Amino acid sequence: MGMDRRRFLQVSAGALGAAAVGPTLLGGERADALSGLAAQRTVLDALPGDSGIDHVVVLMMENRSYDSYLGWLSRDRGYRARGKSRYGWRFFTRGRQHQAYPDANGVLHHTRHFTINAAGIDPYRGCGHPDPGHGWNAGRAQRDRGFVAAGSGNDDFALSYYRASDLPVYRELAYRFTICDRWHASLLGPTYPNREYLLSGQSGGNKTNYLPVAEGGFQWDSIYDRLGRAGVSVADYAADLPPALLFGPRVLPYVRSIDAYYEDCATGNLPQVSYVDPAFNGGNRSDDHPHGDIRAGQRFVRDAFAAFARSPHWERGLFVLVYDEWGGFFDHLAPPHLADDRASTTDAEDFSQAGFRVPAILASPRVRPGFASHRLYDHTSVLRFLEWRFLGAPAHGPGTAGDTWFFTERDRRAENLGRTLLLDVSDPEIGFDLDVAVDPPSASCDAAASGLAGEQRSAPVLEPDSVHPFATPEALEYFADVGFTL
């Protein structure tokens, strides 16, 4: 069984004591009221067609936690000062990058700024360290005992964090648009199940990166099926391997290349709903999954957002940037439980257990600038918004008996992310140079290891590049079997 919330926070605070307590945790509605924002109308106060949102782009990256990637915002004096000026003195963000966690022997390990204090060859990739644990069991060990405890699957790489200067694209997006500091992975588990929740509100009971080979793809409905039947245009734009094809060959007509995304942005021909996938394959992948270089990820997000922001769709558009799961990296907030068809009182079988927080940014002319939303979201909050905007769902609540707009109890009862989009204020100005300067990525960890071969000097033992589950030989064979090849 998992520890309670108070015990989790005690463990995560470690030796840092009172200095790590942070602000009072407020629910979304209470936080808005105290900030003087509750009276502002959101898009959910209008009919879906009058919302001002006609095009939605969803970009899901890989395996990073909120504290590791965006925790610096809580200590950014300029960001906080602008927030207090705009939204009142209670403005805050829930980030805590300075933490300590006990290992199996009770020894405390402190978090560190990785590009300065990295123990490996390449701090932008994590070379020299294993890919942090982020499976079903490892996640529960991290929840119960901390991020370097027995069973966590982690070394100190999992306690690394980055600052604004390391993530220049996210710095600009966070300053200009709205971050979500209570967006949790849908499950305390790995990549495939979380992406399945994004696309269908469930993982079919799968806890692992299970490939539906025997089924020829998952047979339950996906958002592609629902939107397609409703006559709503939708596409998955893949830099290499499209996660949409976990739902089999019937989804192939919706799959396009990333080059087509850039062309469709430029010509104003994006579908109403677009999913954009980074590259998962090889040492120069752009998904942010270790051991990918985070600068490749920054470049990919920059280019994907810039294409949309320059498109004719921007003024009536929404760009959702989020991560599939926390990737084993530290986060100081205990993950919540959410409604789920497969909820269980047995922890090992409980699909109501959400994962740790992930970075999430909403970019649109209809978001508050430099704002932090404290509403509790998970990946099915995207589904809940799409269901309202395009599929006849009510703006709030679970609807009534006999409704068929939802997939499962998870998305039926999820918070609609439209709660964070404004109806009456629309500011299309970007406010920063879309061509944000990002240093080029380094050679892969495998290449770095090869470069050390034969050298006489002492060198650290290098972990090889981790292979993304979409890029294993088994996965590549599955993609080929359903009709897709690189």
Q: Which H or E run contains 181?
A: none
Evaluate whether 224 touches 247 at the Cβ level (below 8 Å): yes
The pLDDT of residue 118 is 59
Beta bridge partners of 371: 178
**In Å, how far from its chain's centre is CA 445?**
24
Beta bridge partners of 101: 109
The pLDDT of residue 121 is 67
Beta bridge partners of 109: 101
Mode of pairing for the β-strands spanning 108-110 and 100-102: antiparallel
Distance separating alpha carbons of residues 339 and 3, to the nearest angstrom: 20
Show Cβ contacts of residue 252 under 8 Å, excluding neighbours closer than 6 positions: 245, 482, 483, 484
Q: Which H or E run contains 235?
A: strand 234-238
Q: Which residue has the tokens 């942010």?
A: 288
Total-model pTM: 0.91
Q: Is 86 helix (H, G, I), strand (E, B) or coil?
A: helix
Mode of pairing for the β-strands spanning 360-363 and 317-323: antiparallel
Amino acid identity of 79?
A: Y
The pLDDT of residue 19 is 30
| Mean pLDDT, all residues of the chain | 89
Written as one string, the DSSP assignment of 144-163 is HH-TBSTTS---GGGGEE--
Evaluate whether 189 touches 469 at the Cβ level (below 8 Å): no
Show Cβ contacts of residue 22 under 8 Å, excluding neighbours closer than 6 positions: 74, 94, 96, 332
Amino acid identity of 332?
A: H
The pLDDT of residue 460 is 44
Mode of pairing for the β-strands spanning 55-61 and 273-277: parallel
Q: Please compute Rg for the chain using Cα positions.
A: 21
Closest C-alpha among 286, 304, 348, 358 to residue 71: 358
Count the neighbouring beta carbons within 10 Å of the beta carbon of residue 111: 26
Distance separating alpha carbons of residues 357 and 343, to the nearest angstrom: 20
Closest C-alpha among 192, 173, 423 to residue 301: 173
Q: Which H or E run contains 239?
A: none
**In Å, how far from its chain's centre is CA 136?**
17
Mode of pairing for the β-strands spanning 55-61 and 317-323: parallel
Total length of the chain: 486
Show Cβ contacts of residue 14 under 8 Å, excluding neighbours closer than 6 positions: 20, 99, 100, 101, 102, 108, 110
Distance separating alpha carbons of residues 315 and 89, to the nearest angstrom: 31
- Tens of pLDDT, residue by residue over 230-255, are 999 999 999 999 999 999 999 999 99
Distances (CA, A) of 219 to 192, 214, 359, 455: 15, 11, 30, 53
Q: pLDDT over 90 for what percent of the chain?
A: 79
The pLDDT of residue 30 is 55
* Fold entry, domain 41-66+164-481: Alkaline Phosphatase, subunit A (3.40.720)
**Chunked mean pLDDT (size 10), the chain, 486 residues:** 42 36 40 58 96 97 97 97 95 96 96 76 84 95 97 94 97 98 98 98 97 96 98 97 96 97 98 97 86 95 98 98 97 98 98 98 97 98 98 96 96 98 91 96 77 44 68 91 89
Amino acid identity of 94?
A: R
